[in-house]
Structure 1
Amino acid sequence: MTWQGPDLDMRARMRQRAGLRRFALSDPECDHGLTMSTCTICNGTDRRREREADQASKPRRIDAKFPGTCASCELPIEPGDPILWSPGRKPLHEECTL
């Protein structure tokens, strides 16, 4: 048997492991002492909750589907009017601000 050269598959595996270790060091730790991405209990739910809370707090521009009143100017909102909507808050006309 002749020498085939260095084991390239082994080098690739070693580089991959080193990359995974670097990623694990930058990944925050959960309450269970594991990284968030490896914990089967949390499975990143804290990140998802933070992202959803951030998106829920920002008002979205949509067309009104139902009649109502503006929280700022208290004028009527008709279906089809552009409004700013966010969960748990009254809608606003797109031009109105609180």
Structure 2
Amino acid sequence: MNDWTDVCALDELDDEDVRRFDHAGRTYAVYRCDDRVYATDGLCTHERIHLADGFLMEHVIECPKHNGRFDIRDGRALGAPVCVNLKTYPARVQGGQVQIQLA
């Protein structure tokens, strides 16, 4: 499985930053934290709000609508009002480009 998709240049994504990435009719959220990159589904599992509009701090993304929080490393829901985990995707930096594996 080598279906890696370019998202952006690494230098376009600051530390503790999140970026919305739309591809093939789906929305993803791509994060940079502690010089690592992560990727999850882009919509909150509670009310389907874009997580890229939320607040990222220390591996936790907070949804901008009802303050539901998820751990970006494994997608784990961290308490009410969210109770369904986010799907996560492998992410890497290759040749200065942030890439996610969607297959």
TM-score of the aligned structures, taking structure 1 as reference length: 0.22
Bigger relative contact order, structure 1 or 2 (CA pairs below 8 A, ≥6 apart):
2
TM-score of the aligned structures, taking structure 2 as reference length: 0.21
Point out the structure with the larger helix share. 1
| Larger Rg, first or second structure (1 or 2) | 1
